[in-house]
């Protein structure tokens, strides 16, 4: 299958998609393409090529929400954030996290089934509640880190190594769950 | 997931969403710790929430397809039924989806054939898709895939293939009505006026009273004038037998189902259904014989509503194509005495013409109903014949075949068989009246 045929196949899917799917993909696309603008509004330095690359990846995730494009976009967006923004715990961090959440969840719901699928309204409401929970925890963490920043707690080797150990342990817990299958095999 | 993805068996697989949240949050947390940038930890936080919530609820059992069945085994053309798919062991399922493959001559509601359902924990999930069959025949319906997603869209089960169920689509008989009596009824009771007198409603004559005559038949005016009892006699009413001979050897034209263009076999099958329904409702006996490669190709002459169902069921099983091992000259059609044979054929094959001529030569009353649609006569585009647009060779070949057909029709008419194009109501009226007149006159038969 050539690249052109593959792309036209995905375009066909967008054409066949239900109204809800089009809205979800549209939301994901707008949020993804708007991230460089958001960085600019937050006072970040301009990276035209980085922004263009993000928009390109945004097109990919709109066409294929159930692929590696959303992860690639999220990684590229974070790189752009790191490169453009200083280490500051401003409200813009929460807005950026919210933008990432919107892209992630829009792609998640759009990947529930074939493009023609309309996900039940009850499930969409459940995801809105989940999104609210995720953003709330993020806001709390932002407040907590700002609070500790105000206290001016000095960075120490103990905190650093504890953090690394926690991340490594978490990765060890996570890895088998990502590579194995749960539940009994189908009969 | 889509209906065209390769099918995967096994239990729950992590979704792209879980992998994305897990990799992104873990990598960002590690970089945040390594570089000491707290803002990256804040960016990772929502995805950590998603990952923790998804990983902490591991599904125990995989769901299974408890049943996938059609509500009805047979429908009429254009009618619909419901495909019910039930998933069991759905304790860990949050959402399930069924996606049906697009089949020929079927339509679904919703049109995409994709239906999703939210699950309540611990319950079975039942999903239903309305399926309509748009053309007569037997075909597999309900082929597709089913898949399920667990809470937080972390893992997916399936897609698992759904095997199709066999749906018999009975032909929707075309409109037909006939006021002409069948030429020679021979049964006991029916609606066709017989040659003998007896109980009936049609006046025959006024004759002298005979022992056994009913008093209410006495014609008092004639009796008083002649001073002798006279009664009114009526023509007996009898039933008759009709044998339908359907030529399934060729199928020309494009069939677009009940709402679109019809092929020759569509016209033949629907016309046969219409004739069977009409004559069986009149109380006549109807039989069916299919000329072609169809396996179950004969229904003995019989009557009643159940018999109509048998005839329609056999018509639904017709498969186009010629049976090359069958010699039409040696075929035995088991035509009952006095039966009328109605041949439904586009008259494009030697088989059908041979059988028609053979039956006519043995003294059986035969009528040919030409089922070649009017749109296929004359200059016809290759597209209308089922070929590629602009294929001039096919157009020329079709013209040559029409010339050949004229010769075949001439052979049929030479042995005295009337040929009439199928036009729905009244198609057979003039032909049957003509046959009735001809049968009352003396004739010679070659045996």
- The residue ranges of every structural domain in chain B are 12-56, 64-170, 192-238, 241-440
Q: Are strands B340-345 and B80-88 parallel, antiparallel or unpaired?
A: unpaired
Q: How many CA atoms are closer than 13 Å to the CA of B392, on its beta-carbon side?
A: 0
- Residue B245 in contact with residue B195, Cβ under 8 Å? no
Instruction: Please tell me which residue of chain A has the smallest CA distance to B15.
Output: A66
Q: Best interface-test mutation with B: which of A167, A171, A176 has the largest number of B CBs within 10 A?
A: A167
Mean pLDDT value of segment B165-189: 72
* Listed residue (B335, B339, B360) closest to B241, CA to CA: B339
At A97, list the tokens: 């996290």
pLDDT digits (tens, 9 = 90+) for B365-376: 889 999 888 777
Mean pLDDT value of segment B96-120: 86
Question: Percent of chain A beyond pLDDT 70?
Answer: 80
**Quick check: B25 pLDDT over 50?**
yes
Mean pLDDT value of segment A95-112: 94
Higher local confidence (pLDDT), B361 or B199: B361
pLDDT computed for residue B39 by the predictor: 85
Given pLDDT bands bounded at 50, 70 and 90, which one contains residue B312?
very high
Domain covering B241-440 assigned CATH 3.40.449 in the classification: no
A7: Cβ–Cβ under 8 A, 6 or more apart, which residues? A63
pTM of this structure: 0.75
**Quick check: A59 pLDDT over 60?**
yes
pLDDT computed for residue B321 by the predictor: 77
Mean pLDDT value of segment B78-85: 89
Q: Please provide the average confidence, as pLDDT, over all residues in chain B.
A: 82
Find the range with the poorest average confidence among B45-49, B57-61, B191-195, B297-301: B191-195
**How many C-beta atoms lie closer than 10 Å to residue B431's C-beta?**
21
- Residue B248 in contact with residue B263, Cβ under 8 Å? no
CB–CB of B45 and A160 under 8 A?
no
Which helix H or strand E contains A41, and what residues bound it?
Answer: helix A35-41
Mean pLDDT value of segment B88-114: 86
Given pLDDT bands bounded at 50, 70 and 90, which one contains residue B3?
very low
Separation in Å, CA of B245 to nearest CA in chain A: 45
Chain B neighbors of A67, CB-CB under 8 A:
16
B113: Cβ–Cβ under 8 A, 6 or more apart, which residues? A116, B99, B100, B101, B102, B129, B144
pLDDT computed for residue A7 by the predictor: 65
**Quick check: A156 pLDDT over 90?**
no
pLDDT computed for residue B67 by the predictor: 85
* Listed residue (B158, B171, B160, B165) closest to B70, CA to CA: B165
CB–CB of B61 and A160 under 8 A?
no
**Quick check: B397 pLDDT over 90?**
no
pLDDT digits (tens, 9 = 90+) for B315-325: 999 888 776 66
Phi-psi region of B105 (alpha: psi -120 to 50; beta: other; left: phi over 0): left
A147 touches chain B (CB under 8 A): no
pLDDT computed for residue B260 by the predictor: 81
pLDDT digits (tens, 9 = 90+) for A12-22: 777 778 899 99
Chain B neighbors of A129, CB-CB under 8 A:
none
Q: Best interface-test mutation with A: which of B3, B29, B42, B62 has the largest number of A CBs within 10 A?
A: B42
Higher local confidence (pLDDT), B294 or A132: A132
Any bridge partners for residue A149, and if so which? none
Sign of the dihedral defined by the CA atoms of residues B367, B371, B373, B378, in that order: negative
B341: Cβ–Cβ under 8 A, 6 or more apart, which residues? B242, B243, B245, B333, B335, B359, B364, B365, B366, B367
Q: Are strands B80-88 and B230-238 parallel, antiparallel or unpaired?
A: unpaired
Sheet holding B125-133, edge to edge: B64-70, B80-88, B125-133, B106-109
- Residue B94 in contact with residue A130, Cβ under 8 Å? no
Hey, where are the domains in chain A?
Answer: 3-154
Mean pLDDT value of segment B60-82: 86
A141 touches chain B (CB under 8 A): yes
Given pLDDT bands bounded at 50, 70 and 90, which one contains residue B400?
confident
A20 touches chain B (CB under 8 A): no
Chain B neighbors of A116, CB-CB under 8 A:
99, 110, 112-114
Closest CB to A178 among B11, B14, B160: B14
Residue B110: cis peptide before it, omega within 30 degrees of 0: yes
CB–CB of A97 and B12 under 8 A?
no
B325: DSSP letter:
T
- Report angle CA B387, B390, B395 to the nearest 5 degrees: 65
Class at the top of the CATH hierarchy for domain B64-170: mainly beta
pLDDT digits (tens, 9 = 90+) for B140-174: 888 888 999 988 888 898 788 888 888 899 988 77
B330: DSSP letter:
G
pLDDT digits (tens, 9 = 90+) for B111-128: 888 898 888 766 788 899
Quote the CA–CA distance of B428 and B432 in Å, as a whole number.
6
Question: Percent of chain B beyond pLDDT 90?
Answer: 14
CB–CB of B58 and A182 under 8 A?
yes
pLDDT computed for residue A26 by the predictor: 93
């Amino acid at each position: 299958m050539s690249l052109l045929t593959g792309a036209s196949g995905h375009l066909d899917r967008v054409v066949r998609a239900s109204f809800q799917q089009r809205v979800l993909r549209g939301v994901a696309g707008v949020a993804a393409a708007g991230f460089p603008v958001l960085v600019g509004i937050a006072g970040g330095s301009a990276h035209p090529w980085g922004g263009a690359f993000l928009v390109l990846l945004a097109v990919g995730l709109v066409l294929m929400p159930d692929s590696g494009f959303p992860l690639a976009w999220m990684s590229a967006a974070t790189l752009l954030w790191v490169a453009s923004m200083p280490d500051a715990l401003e409200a813009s961090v929460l807005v950026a996290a919210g933008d990432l959440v919107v892209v992630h969840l829009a792609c998640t719901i759009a990947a529930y089934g074939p493009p023609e699928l309309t996900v039940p309204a009850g499930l969409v409401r459940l995801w809105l509640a989940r999104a609210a929970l995720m953003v709330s925890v993020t806001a709390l963490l932002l407040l907590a880190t700002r609070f500790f920043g105000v206290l001016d707690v000095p960075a120490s080797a103990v905190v650093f190594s504890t953090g690394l150990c926690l991340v490594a342990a978490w990765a060890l817990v996570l890895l088998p769950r990502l590579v194995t299958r749960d539940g009994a095999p189908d009969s | 997931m889509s209906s065209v993805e390769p099918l995967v068996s096994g239990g729950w697989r992590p979704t792209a969403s879980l992998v994305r949240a897990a990799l992104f949050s873990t990598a960002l947390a590690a970089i945040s710790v390594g570089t000491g940038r707290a803002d990256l930890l804040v960016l990772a936080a929502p995805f950590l929430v998603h990952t923790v919530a998804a990983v902490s609820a591991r599904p125990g059992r995989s769901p299974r397809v408890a049943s996938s069945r059609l509500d009805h085994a047979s429908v009429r053309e254009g009618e619909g039924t419901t495909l019910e798919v039930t998933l069991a062991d759905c304790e860990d399922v949050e959402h399930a989806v069924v996606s049906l493959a697009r089949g020929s001559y079927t339509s679904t509601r919703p049109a995409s054939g994709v239906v999703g359902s939210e699950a309540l924990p611990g319950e079975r999930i039942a999903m239903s898709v309305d399926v309509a069959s748009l053309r007569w025949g037997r075909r597999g319906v309900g082929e597709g895939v089913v898949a399920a997603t667990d809470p937080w869209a972390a893992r997916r089960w399936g897609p698992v293939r759904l095997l199709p169920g066999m749906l018999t689509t009975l032909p929707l008989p075309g409109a037909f009505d006939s006021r002409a009596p069948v030429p020679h009824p021979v049964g006991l009771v029916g609606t066709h006026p017989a040659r003998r007198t007896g109980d009936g409603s049609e006046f025959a004559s006024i004759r002298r009273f005979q022992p056994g005559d009913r008093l209410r038949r006495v014609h008092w005016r004639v009796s008083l004038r002649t001073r002798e009892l006279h009664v009114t006699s009526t023509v007996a009413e009898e039933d008759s037998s009709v044998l339908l001979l359907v030529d399934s050897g060729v199928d020309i034209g494009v069939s677009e189902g009940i709402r679109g263009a019809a092929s020759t076999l569509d016209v033949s099958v629907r016309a046969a259904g219409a004739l069977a329904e009409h004559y069986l409702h009149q109380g006549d006996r109807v039989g069916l014989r299919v000329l072609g490669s169809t396996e179950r190709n004969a229904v003995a002459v019989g009557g009643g509503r159940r018999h109509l169902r048998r005839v329609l069921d056999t018509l639904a099983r017709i498969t186009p194509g010629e049976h090359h091992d069958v010699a039409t000259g040696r075929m035995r059609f088991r035509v009952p005495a006095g039966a009328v044979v109605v041949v439904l054929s586009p008259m494009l094959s030697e088989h059908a013409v041979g059988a028609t001529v053979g039956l006519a030569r043995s003294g059986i009353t035969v009528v040919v109903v030409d089922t070649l649609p009017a749109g296929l006569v004359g200059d016809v585009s290759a597209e209308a014949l089922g070929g590629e647009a602009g294929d001039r060779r096919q157009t020329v070949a079709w013209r040559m075949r029409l010339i050949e057909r004229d010769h075949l029709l001439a052979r049929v008419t030479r042995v005295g068989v009337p040929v009439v194009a199928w036009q729905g109501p009244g198609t057979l009226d003039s032909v049957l009246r003509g046959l009735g007149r001809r049968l009352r006159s003396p004739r010679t038969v070659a045996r």
